[in-house]
Structure 1
Amino acid sequence: MTTPDAPRHSRPISFAIFLAIAGAVGWWAAFNLTVSKIEVLENPSVDLACDFSVLVQCGTNLTAWQGAVFGFPNPLLGMGGFVAPIAVGVGLLAGARFARWFWIAFNVGIVGAFAFVIWLISQSLYSLGTLCPWCMVVWVATIPLFWVVTTRNLVEGVLGSSLVGFGAALRSWVVPITIVSYAVVVLLAQLQLNALARL
């Protein structure tokens, strides 16, 4: 029973909703990529719904070795991985509280996803020469997940009490940083692929 003097912990509703939505968006993109991969396996000459042009397409990414780095299609990683932010978001909305080790592990997973996305972006732009629509949706979901989760953990002292002030200062810049991150990807795509002229 809660006594009048017991501390009350407010639920981080905005953070929780963001996690659930970003996770759902990423999962949906990964699901559609998985469906497209199955279609390619069934019929290698199929015209995928996400193939719009030589530049904007999924087919090349799904059939290249970069599309199955660990020996199985990358989208399966997304379908499994994006369940985590959905589950954490829903859990927070339900009033769950997680231990410090959990937040560290969650952050490590998000950092891994962010690093993998950066690598995939570089491969799409500089090796494959394509802009995969559903892949880009995954990028759009993963980039803010990294910034939001990391700054949250900095502010909460999860990553060390000495970094709390830095996290608080960084948190107010999360939206601009995310926009700049997107802009960098767009700029690189333009410089490497002349994307705007070829859309």
Structure 2
Amino acid sequence: MIERMPRPSRALAILLIVGGIIGLIAAFALTLDKFAVLENPKFVPSCNFSVLIGCSKNLNSEIGSTFGFPNPLIGLMMFPAPLIIGVASLAGVRFPRWFWALFNVGMAFAIGFVIYLISNSIFNFELRVLCPWCMAVWSVVIPMSLATTLYNLREQTLPLGARVAKAAGWLYGWMPILTLVCYVIFAVVAQVNLDVLGNLF
């Protein structure tokens, strides 16, 4: 008999829905901009605000096609997953443990890839630019990844022991603060390395 997980909290389900929608919108917008740039190399995306805030550098760089094709296509493929899982969870569907573990693997890839992209945007001297649509993706992947991992640790889908499960359950209740801390760390690192406020416009 397949053991099914308890239904995730409504907050987690809504987070997955909202995050999936925002991620899809951002990935779709970046995909359209990439197509436009391929058709006309002189095309200037609407998200280009200054030398520091814009999409062009990211889209045209090697980092913008990490796996040999435009990164936004990864978002178009992956963001429907949290959206569908969130909707199904609100509808009362209880997924088996292996399903949540597999979903966690996907979210681990997502947060790892986001960290890689953030690092290149801030520290790669060929880029040193912040893409608004990319930041929208980062802003939803971070809390979705944290919440999914803490949920799976709490429910011991990721079997790391009772103490870890208890700690994860406690941290799960502090998700808004944890997310805010991650945002603040990113903002501070970006400001120190890029002088965001001084180069905003």
After TM superposition, list the pairs within 5 Å mapping 1:118-157 onto structure 2. 118-127=115-124, 128-157=127-156
Partner letter of residue 196 of structure 2?
Answer: A
Q: Secondary structure at the match of 2:94?
A: coil
How many Å separate the matches in 2 of 1:11 and 1:72? 34
Aligned to 2:133, the other structure's residue is in SS state helix
Give the alignment's TM-score, normalised by structure 1: 0.92
Gaps of 5+ in 2: 1-5
Identity %: 45
Match of residue 55 from structure 2: 58
Q: Is the 8 A contact 1:11 1:95 kept in 2?
A: no
Deviates more, 1:111-120 or 1:147-156: 147-156
| Larger RCO, structures 1/2 (Cα 8 Å, 6+ apart) | 2
Q: Which residue of 1 aligns with 2:3?
A: none
CA contact (8 A) 1:151 1:168 kept: yes
Length, aligned pairs only: 191
Q: Distance in 1 between matches of 2:131 and 2:33?
A: 12
Change (3 A) 1:11 1:183: closer
Equivalent residue number for residue 177 of structure 1: 178
Asked if 1:164 is matched to 2:161, the reply is no
Deviation per CA, 1:15-63, whole angstroms, max 9, x where unpaired? Answer: 2111111111111111111011011001011111111111100000000
1:119-167 deviation line (CA, Å, top 9, x unaligned): 0001011111101000000000100011111111111121125232121
- Report the counterpart of residue 98 of structure 1 in structure 2: 95
Matched residues in 2 for 1:30 and 1:183: separation?
A: 24
Residue 47 of structure 1 pairs with residue 48 of structure 2: no
Structure whose CA Rg is larger: 1
CA separation in 1, counterparts of 2:92 and 2:8?
6
